[in-house]
Amino acid sequence: MNATDAKKTVLIVDDDVDFLTQQRLNLEGAGFDVRTAESQAEAEKLLAGFRPDVAVVDLMMEHMDGGFALCHHIRKKDPTIRVILCTAVASETSLAFDAATEEERSWVKADALLAKPVRFEQLRREIDRLLREGRA
């Protein structure tokens, strides 16, 4: 973000408190307003009262498909919210899926997919890209 941009809001949803804390501190240090939730249910309550510019969502939380369900909820609430889905599924199960094509994004309901472990530089690059695309 540069000085002329309004402060952007990022919602991070993950049941891993260490991931939440690390990414929140990094994003706040980069100038973002950050809200966090530790579950799909907590995120849905937060979303009832505010609109983030970007949501970073873990795939598996209190339910195996909690991240998918939350992505669908976000898209239904406001299809302009940019969504990044983070998951360790590929590394743990060798199952591969992506959000690279329009068809994949249509069922995943995410604009990007990042494999865990996620480095802050990766996350920041995706957030910046999605925010740029959202302005275009």
Residue boundaries of the structural domains of the chain: 9-119
CA distances from residue 48 to 41, 42, 74, 112 in whole angstroms, order as listed: 11, 10, 10, 23
| pLDDT of the residue at 4 | 44
| pLDDT of the residue at 61 | 79
Whole-angstrom distance, CA of residue 44 vs CA of residue 54:
14
Q: Give the global pTM.
A: 0.84
pLDDT along the chain (136 residues), means of 10: 71 95 97 96 95 94 80 93 85 48 59 90 96 77
Q: What's the N-to-C CA distance of the chain in angstroms?
A: 16
CATH value of 9-119 in 3.40.50.2300, 3.40.1260.10, 3.30.420.40, 3.30.70.100: 3.40.50.2300
CA distances from residue 127 to 51, 53, 93 in whole angstroms, order as listed: 16, 9, 26
Q: Look up tokens 């599924």; give the residue.
A: 89
